[in-house]
Structure 1
């Protein structure tokens, strides 16, 4: 019975336009993860993309009333119950969009504990690529998710570019991130190692004790 249960990948896209490069990147990342999962195991894979633009009014109403609509509640449940998450936002004012942040503000801060997440972003220029490190990783760190090593930023010029001897092109980065997500979903080191399996939270030496040790020496 267990072997026939599908693996569920949910991609959250905060793109506002249609068509949207943010949605396209979400689709490509989900497809890469599914391809790797299909190649390495026999369980079916379900992909769902949640477009936040369709939930914008519901998100705003929930923020001011405290009551989610049935549609929004179901979308949040899909995110929290997924086996792997892909989160993609356009860059607005050097960070993720307000719509993206507002949605994840509605997710309980322990609901994503241990969940493997690929973070990705789109923008008009490569100058904003650090949004992945200074904004998105800290957000999912706070939510206790396992943010995977490869994050993907797609500037306008990245679409169709093949990269060079020093930098992978966008398709290669998408494949690598999708592969990491697939590995984490099926029990790879990124999700089963360190923090959960070994209980590193219990083994971290408090800073005060480290300082006391230094004083003794």
Structure 2
């Protein structure tokens, strides 16, 4: 049996005003989402899942019993976009926009906005300042993939090229994170930090017109 947004909110001990505040909406706007969740976007689904202590899949599975419609189509259309910055941490960042990926993505996918020139270099894998890169957390990174890296200590958030260390390397197991620009220093990450440091693999990007 599907549990609707209204019931999940009540189980969490919240009133509509509480949820609306977290979503940055008016009470009437949130009330419309409870009545018809099909227009929910990825960033709002992530917030609701945290508020209601359930998975994003649980929110996506919410069905309006009268209309019989699921919000899954809306999630596949857009993903929230976050700016790369210092202090990323485990908390959800404030979205700076939404992007519609050209391919199918998981419910946990998101996008990041490149905020510097460290990944822009002619002749290399380049993501330019202002580009939006879709990050898929469900994909295991392979050599040469561009990944979203978050420093476990500082929260510094970066896009880098993933390169596993050869087993004969004294620092193995682990990997190096490289820039497209060869003038920027590589980052060494030990294998024990991989699950927390690598947030996902870049699957596509939206390039600004230049």
Q: Give the TM interval when normalised to the shorter protein.
A: under 0.3
Greater helix proportion: 1
Higher RCO (CA < 8 A, seq sep 6+)? 1
TM-score when normalising by structure 2: 0.28
Greater strand proportion: 2
